[in-house]
Amino acid sequence: MALKKDKYVIDTDVLIDYLKGVQAAKDFLLRAESKKNEVFYSVITVIEIYTGLRNEQEEKDFLKLLKLMRRVNVDFAISKKAGEFRNTYAARYSCEIPDAILAATAYVKKAKFATRNAKHFKMIKEIEAVKI
């Protein structure tokens, strides 16, 4: 019987850390590469990363990194849940639209949310934020 893989939606900050050479992010994604985890990224993360790319080499490194993961597009279920998260949490906590979409992606995919800043997402009780 095959072992069940852990599923994660990865926050943009973890990919930024990986591209900067931060060891914790590199170790996490190495496990994904060895297929011990199933890792998803949101198209929102693509927008956020492309906003800060400075040259062609950074783009090549980023595109290579994306091949280790599975892309998730923002569909109706994710959009609806993100809106619900904002409705519930935005008034009391800083829950910006991109963060709500990423958290909703984890919720819909029934995955843990891998982030450098788990504390930022702890108020969203419907997901499990894991510090990387």
33-73 residue pLDDT tens: 777 789 999 999 999 999 999 999 999 999 999 998 999 99
Q: How confident is the model at residue 93 (pLDDT cuts 50, 70, 90)?
A: confident
Q: Which two tokens stand for residue 46?
A: 């693509």
DSSP letters, 22-91, are -HHHHHHHHHHHTTSEEEEEEHHHHHHHHHH--SHHHHHHHHHHHTTSEEE---HHHHHHHHHHHHHHTT
- The answer to whether 25 and 14 have CB atoms below 8 angstroms apart is yes
Task: Give the whole-number percent of the chain exceeding pLDDT 70.
Answer: 97
pLDDT of residue 48: 96
Query: Of 81, 96, 95, 99, whose CA–CA distance to 45 is shortest?
Result: 99
Segment of 24-33, 98-107, 111-120 carrying the highest mean pLDDT: 98-107
pLDDT of residue 94: 77
The CATH classification number of 6-73+109-131 equals 3.40.50.1010
pLDDT of residue 104: 98
Residue entry with tokens 């790319």:
53
Q: For 6-15, 58-67, 118-127, which range has the lowest pLDDT when averaged over its residues?
A: 118-127
Does pLDDT of 112 surpass 90?
yes
Q: Which two tokens stand for residue 113?
A: 């949310």
Q: Which two tokens stand for residue 40?
A: 């998803």
Query: Of 80, 87, 76, 41, whose CA–CA distance to 62 is shortest?
Result: 41
13-30 per-position pLDDT tens digit? 999 999 999 999 999 988
pTM attached to this predicted model? 0.91
